[in-house]
Amino acid sequence: MNIVLLGAPGAGKGTQAQKLVEEFGFVHISTGDLLRKAVKAGTRLGRQAKSYMDSGKLVPDELVIGLVKERLSEPDAKVGWILDGFPRNTPQAVTLDSELKSFEVTLDAALLVDVEEDVILNRLSSRRTCRSCGYTATADVSVCPRCGGQMYQRDDDKPSTIKERLRTYQIQTAPLIEYYRGHGILKKVNGARSAEAVYSDVKELLGL
């Protein structure tokens, strides 16, 4: 099964993707992870992307599309994948459809994790991320339980940046909901609950 995850920053998309990967073996393709890897490696794309990410703005389409195309062409992606963070706007969705068609791959569902803005602000402002492996946790966790690395607050998890990210989401990304609804593959779940409750509904919606 091939899935696109939709929802505002902090809606809990990554958590649900991780649960699906653990239970069903899907490949989780996070554009955020791909971009941070490129930034950490200091590649040309990474250097270009960093200025956008630090200010809470979306990385330009051509940079993201190049990374996604490379990742989808890797062998492990052929078993089924969850695309998290892409597409972020309707032109990207159209491009994705075209690329998948060239691979003779079908997009089975667009899963929307729906959460109110005030809930997201509280979630993200208290989130901390491991410098070493990218694991996320709440502010009371100072040492990564996965690798022992240092936990810190990313620039794009600070309140002022969160508001900018949400504004950008509403302008550029929210129209994707109607795009995929029009294609008949939109699945919507209430994400303002425990991760376990959300996951139960996710499996039901996807027929898993």
> Which of the residues are catalytic?
13, 88, 127, 154, 165
Q: How far apart are CA 66 and CA 70, in angstroms?
A: 6
The backbone torsions φ and ψ at residue 116, rounded to the nearest 5 degrees and listed phi first, read -70, 155
Do you find a cis peptide bond into 87, omega within 30 degrees of 0? yes
Alpha helices per DSSP H over the chain: 13-24, 31-41, 44-54, 61-72, 90-103, 117-125, 159-168, 175-182, 195-206
Contact 111, 4 (CB under 8 A): yes
Q: DSSP letter string over 142-195?
A: -B-TTT-PBEE--GGGSHHHHHHHHHHIIIIITHHHHHHHHTT-EEEEE-SS-H
